[in-house]
Structure 1
Amino acid sequence: MSSKNIFGNALPARVPFYYGWVVLIFAAVAMVATLPGRSVGIGLITEPLIADLGISRLDFARMNFWATIFGALFNLVCGITIDRFGVRAVVTAVLFVLSAVVLGFSQVAGAGFLLLLLVLMRGVGQSALSVVSLTMVGKWFVRRLSVAMGIFAVLMSLGFAVAIVVAGDVVLKQGWRVMWSGLGWILMVLSGLCLLFVRRDPEAVGLDTEVVKGDESQEPVIGFTLVQALMTPAFYVFAVGSALYNLVIAGVMLFNQSILGELGFDETVFQYAMAVFMATGLLGNFTAGWAARRWSLGRLMTIAMLAVGVYLLAFPQLKTPGQALVHAGLLGFSGGVVSVIFFTAWADIFGRLHLGKIQGAAQVFAVLASATGPLFIESVFSSAGTYAPAFYALAPAVLLVAIFAYFVNIPRPEDAGIKRVCV
């Protein structure tokens, strides 16, 4: 068999199962590869980084804010690029660029260059790579989208758990620069693998969505335009709800040790809390993947937002390590539910026709919230001497979204009245 057949369009039709599952695996790995652009990844090196460069935690939070704000602009560009060139070309290019940025970041020596690299790392890693990763699954699955996104979320959570543990160990033993450089080379290899194995969508390789080649019952690709999606209340319920969770988690992950330290918990509790957070996140993934096939996404968002609201209100009341672990588990579980909703909602509600643009617009909300979270929480702590007012201020907004999510009308792709017939 020639290399053209192996790595060309013949490959998806030759495998004994639907090729979307191969794309799903690469999508999950690509999402894990956003680690250096996310707060949880940057949080692994925050303390040694700011010590190495001689900057304060608040100054770093300000840099992170502007880097994430400007990085959010990459979302819309990425969405348009996906719809024009396809997920294969975009995921390959984004991973290659991110690898170069991460390698450059590992050699940073000054605050000015640090801000530039943070902008690129947030924009290419957290923003663009997240959009293309989610769109890869949405382009290949329709009938079993909830199942596919549940599996995607589980793979992603497992990948993040392993990556965080391994990366943290390397930081402790060999330093943050060695770990960051290693990430850069891994990303470059992954870019090449995506070029070889990822495909644009089923139609581009002669397959119908979730149907093997040879089945002639092809269906038109239907869905909302970006403008139509922005006119629906459902878009804002899911975009704002997911964004509020991102705001909370970004601030907590970047300064979690300091947050727990305020309540008298040591580094051991912090480490156990991170482990519980990851484990309950998987539980949330499984629960939401199962429930999404039986309940509306609005009801699931209500449950997730109620859990986040309880988490925020309960923070100042934590007295024992056991309570701190349950508290972390509540945030992890809600995050697992929110991630499945975010991965599923856009294609399920608005269809695949303009999925890249809609996914990109939703990601803007998420990234802006991620930028605001750490700066808001650290600014409150700097002025008030405690994190409690920040938690109390966020709780009403989260609970309000929970109410709206319960009652929101959720459209279907066919409601848009726009379709593209695939031949």
Structure 2
Amino acid sequence: MNVIVAAVAMSATLPGRTYGLGLIKEPLRADLGISDLRFNVLNFWAIVLGAIVVIPVGWLIDRLGTRAVLAGVTALLATSVFLMSRVTSEWGLFATLTLVRGLGQGALSVVAIALVGKWFRRRAGMAMGVFTVLLAPGFVAPIFVVGEIVKQSGWRVAWIDIGLALLCGLLPLGWVLARSSPEAVGVPADDPVADDGPSRPMTLWAALRTPAFWVYTAAATVFNLTFSALTLDNQSLLTEHGLDGKEANDLVLGVLMLSGLPVNVLTGWLARRLSLGKLLAIGVAILTASLAFFPSIASLGGAAVYAVLLGAAGGVITVIFFAVYGHTYGRTHLGSIQAAVQVLSVLASATGPVILAVCREQFGKSDTFFYGFAVVTAVLMLAAWWVRPPVVPRGEGI
């Protein structure tokens, strides 16, 4: 049941994510009289400051358990969404947006990942594969529902409805069905991994001292950086290549979804048979190919090939990102470790569109961004392939 609750919880991060805020951005700006540039500046700093919320949440997960923290974070996020629906000033928007970003995109995401990671270790890859497949309808369906409410009743009503869904839906669901760990309910723990991780759980500070942590995290955060930049400005990037921006954008988004789902399942299956580090390297190699290919796009067919590559890369990297930390460093301190990674991931996502905008302004087009990050990801691919997970003898403290 934890996998299902985790998928619902991750889907419920919608108000704190860019695509969720995109549903209300224009009517909200018109309502409050805020320019597009000003909103983007507020949003950037809301992401940066909101990331601070994530660190104590990871610490609390390790001490109180995922069930209690899920209830607390859900209640706080619902309250923040309610408050945001009532804002009448720029500063009120900034304060509530910071809370919604931090609790939604940051804290609730960490709790959702921990719900699965704290339960599984040997089978973490397969569990995360199922988790990511369940996320597809969980991400897509609310977009249409919330979009229709915004269209019919306005952004404030839509935000109130989301707050009610969190308070009356996710909160009781999580409390009734979620469990913090197998040991908490007397169930035998998932078998330990014999050859692909430490013999004992590692703390956050111990994990930070291992090369594997930084290689895994760099690969995942660079993917988030590039993916956030490309999906946010996808339409204008495709127009830059002489395509009908809206038509090509719809095609790319559809192909991204269709290509990512089967790769999620395949990666989950392969995670029982291959090293997670090598699987991550394969995902980063596909990402490198997609970045290097984009500047040559000149047709809808080329856009579709690019989308298949990017979707497949995301399918691999996402599953490994969710699974690798618990698999490699154990479950005991997973909340703190995953929280630290989430902070870096969120900051990378916020930085990506800025780097892309600077490249386009300085060089007149986006090719420098694509080729530059293709080189970066090629280096990370080699690092992920060769890095060894930490091994700690049973007799030594960590």
Question: Scaled by the length of structure 1, what TM-score is found?
Answer: 0.85
CA distance in 1 between counterparts of 2:395 and 2:46 reads: 36
Q: Compared with structure 1, are the counterparts of its residues 210 and 229 closer, same or farther at alpha carbon in structure 2 (3 Å cutoff)? A: closer
**Structure 2 CA distance, aligned partners of 1:385 and 1:184?**
42
Given candidates 105, 118, 123, the residue that maps to 1:144 is: 123
Shift, 1:177, TM fit:
3.5
The residue number in structure 2 matching 1:225 is 203
Matched, 1:286 2:265: yes
In structure 2, relative to structure 1, the CA distance for the partners of 1:42 and 1:326 (3 Å cut) is farther
Would you say 1:193 and 2:173 are equivalent positions?
Answer: yes
Per the TM alignment, residue 286 of structure 1 is displaced from its structure 2 partner at its CA by 1.2
Kindly provide the CA deviation profile for residues 296-335 of structure 1, in whole angstroms up to 9, marking residues without a partner as x.
1121111211222222222232211222222223222211
Residue number in structure 2 paired with 1:203: 183
TM-score w.r.t. length of structure 2: 0.90
Distance 1:164 1:193 in 2: 21
Structure 1: unaligned runs, 5 residues or longer: 1-21, 212-220
> Which aligned pairs between 1:191-340 and structure 2 lie closer than 5 A?
191-210=171-190, 222-263=200-241, 264-340=243-319
Q: Letter of the aligned partner of 1:262 in structure 2?
A: E
Q: Does 1:98 align with 2:61?
A: no
Which residue does the alignment assign to 1:83? 62
Structure 2 matches for 1:3-82, cutoff 5 A? Answer: 22-82=1-61
Would you say the 8 A contact 1:23–1:198 is kept in 2?
A: yes
Contact 1:99 1:185 in 2 (8 A): yes
- Spell out, residue by residue over 1:180-238, the C-alpha distance to the aligned partner (whole angstroms, 9 max, x if none): 33222111121122122222222122222259xxxxxxxxx941111111111110111
Deviation (angstroms), 1:414? 6.5
Work out the CA distance in 2 between the residues paired with 1:294 and 1:171: 46
Give the CA deviation at 1:392. 3.0
1:194 partner amino acid: G
Q: Percent identity?
A: 43
What one-letter code is carried by the residue in structure 2 that aligns with 1:198? A
Q: What is the aligned partner in structure 2 of residue 17 from structure 1? A: none
1:16 aligned residue: none
Per the alignment, do residues 304 and 61 of structure 1 end up closer, same or farther by CA in structure 2, a change over 3 Å counting?
farther
Aligned counterparts of 1:402 and 1:147: Cα–Cα separation in 2: 22
1:108 to 77, 87, 94: 87
Aligned partner of 2:349 in structure 1 is 370
- The answer as to whether partners of 2:200 and 2:394 remain within 8 angstroms in 1 is no
Equivalent of 1:345 in 324, 331, 340: 324
Kept in 2, the 8 Å contact 1:41–1:164? The answer is yes
Q: Distance in 1 between matches of 2:393 and 2:121?
A: 13
The one-letter code sitting in structure 2 at the alignment partner of 1:245 is F
The aligned amino acid for 1:359 is Q
RMSD: 2.4
Q: In structure 1, what residue type is equivalent to 2:256?
A: F
SS at match of 1:140: coil
| 1:183/1:380 CA distance change after superposition, 3 Å | farther
CA distance in 1, matches of 2:67, 2:128: 19
Secondary structure at the aligned position of 1:127 is classed as helix
- Give unpaired runs (5+ residues) of structure 2: 192-198
Q: Is the 8 A contact 2:236 2:245 kept in 1?
A: no
Query: What is the aligned length?
Result: 389
Task: Give the Cα–Cα distance (whole angstroms) in 1 for the partners of residues 149 and 84 of structure 2.
Answer: 17
Q: Structure 1 counterpart of 2:219, which letter?
A: G
Q: 1:43 to 1:327 in 2, by over 3 A?
A: farther
Q: 8 Å contact 1:222–1:352 — kept in the other structure?
A: no
Partner of 1:3: none
Q: CA deviation at 1:62?
A: 2.6
Secondary structure in 2 matching 1:386: coil
Contact 1:131-1:363 at 8 Å conserved across structures: yes
- 1:128-154 deviation per Cα after TM superposition (whole angstroms, max 9, x unaligned): 111111111111123322221111111
Alignment-mate amino acid for residue 284 of structure 2: M
Q: Which residue of 2 aligns with 1:177?
A: 156
Indicate how the Cα distance of structure 1 residues 110 and 375 shifts in structure 2: closer, same or farther if over 3 A, else same: farther
Q: Decide whether the 8 Å contact of 1:161 with 1:278 is kept in 2.
A: no
- What displacement does 1:284 show? 2.2
Which residue matches 2:140? 161
Shift in Å, 1:56: 4.0
Q: 2:322 and 2:348 mapped to 1: Cα distance?
A: 17
Residue 50 of structure 1 contacts residue 60 of structure 1 at CA under 8 Å; is this kept in 2?
Answer: yes
Q: CA–CA distance in 2 between the matches of 1:368 and 1:308? A: 20
CA distance in 2, matches of 1:416, 1:320: 60
- Report the Cα distance in structure 1 between the residues aligned to 2:89 and 2:296, rounded to whole angstroms: 41
**Counterpart residue identity of residue 310, structure 1:** A
Name the CA shift for 1:180/1:150 in 2 (closer, same or farther; >3 Å): same
1:366–1:323: structure 2 CA closer, same or farther, 3 Å change rule?
same
Aligned to 2:118, what secondary structure does the other structure show? helix
Instruction: For residue 353 of structure 1, report the CA deviation from its aligned partner.
Output: 1.6
Q: CA deviation at 1:377?
A: 2.2
Is the CA contact (8 Å cut-off) linking 2:235 and 2:248 kept in structure 1?
A: no
Shift of 1:247: 0.7
Name the CA distance, whole Å, in 1 between partners of 2:133 and 2:310: 16
